[in-house]
Chains A and B, each alone.
Chain A
Amino acid sequence: DGGITQSPKYLFRKEGQNVTLSCEQNLNHDAMYWYRQDPGQGLRLIYYSQIVNDFQKGDIAEGYSVSREKKESFPLTVTSAQKNPTAFYLCASSIGGASGSGETQYFGPGTRLLVL
């Protein structure tokens, strides 16, 4: 089955700690995205990657970092600089590519991050 997986489902962060959220896809998509969802708000884009070894900041990148060393994987690190990290984090992918766009995104099941 093709799809996107995210792990863990729930993650707890202590003060001053960096945590990494995993996202893997086997859809052979070039583009991948990280969004943050807070109650009553739309999804907000943290980072996106059009193609392997390249990524761009989204609207709320401060306090987050990513890497894209493999086509299938786009991990997100929530650093201690992110002062309000409690949220539902969603990873997505789309066909993308150098001349592509962000249409028709496929989402993972999400990771809920809570602060202890």
Chain B
Amino acid sequence: SQKIEQNSEALNIQEGKTATLTCNYTNYSPAYLQWYRQDPGRGPVFLLLIRENEKEKRKERLKVTFDTTLKQSLFHITASQPADSATYLCALGTGGFKTIFGAGTRLFVKA
């Protein structure tokens, strides 16, 4: 069956360190993969999109990698800050209008 998995356990890191979140999927052939940030009680906010023919994408302190052989994406936040504390959602797009969302990983950055 098709599955998209993110670490269900929260990730706790110290301010200034790099946070790395993982998204694994099975039985999908995504055309692109997206990462969103969601704060408690609010709607997700789009962060980055990476396409199947791209290995890496960067935006300010954010970096996403996409390995279609491993069926995995890694999302990195460098020089993390307490304001980065949120839930981060991975989402797969197959090229149509349906997007498959993971359950998200909660990140806590301690000052």
Contacts and interface: CB of A to CB of B under 8 A. Distances in A.
Contact of A42 (B32, B46, B89, B93): B89
A11 B62 CA distance: 36
A41 B89 CA distance: 11
Given A40-B8, A108-B43, A110-B42, A102 B98 contact: yes
B49 interface: yes
B46 A105 contact: yes
A103 B49 contact: yes
Contacts of A48: 97-98
B43 A90 contact: yes
A104 B43 contact: no
Contacts of A109: 42-43
Contacts of A31: 97
Contacts of B49: 103-104
A59 B97 CA distance: 12
A88 to B, nearest CB: 8
B101 interface: yes
Interface string A77-116: 0000000000010101000100011111111111010000
Contacts, number: 65
A42 B43 contact: no
Interface residues of A, number: 31
A50 interface: yes
Interface in A35-58: 35, 40-45, 48, 50, 56, 58
Nearest to B34: A103
B93 A43 contact: no
Given A40-B103, A43-B101, A106 B46 contact: yes
B106 to A, nearest CB: 11
Contact of A110 (B32, B34, B41, B45): B41
B42 A45 contact: no
Contacts of B101: 35, 42-44
14 contacts: A4-B43, A31-B97, A35-B101, A40-B103, A42-B101, A42-B103, A44-B101, A88-B41, A90-B44, A101-B95, A101-B96, A102-B97, A103-B34, A105-B46
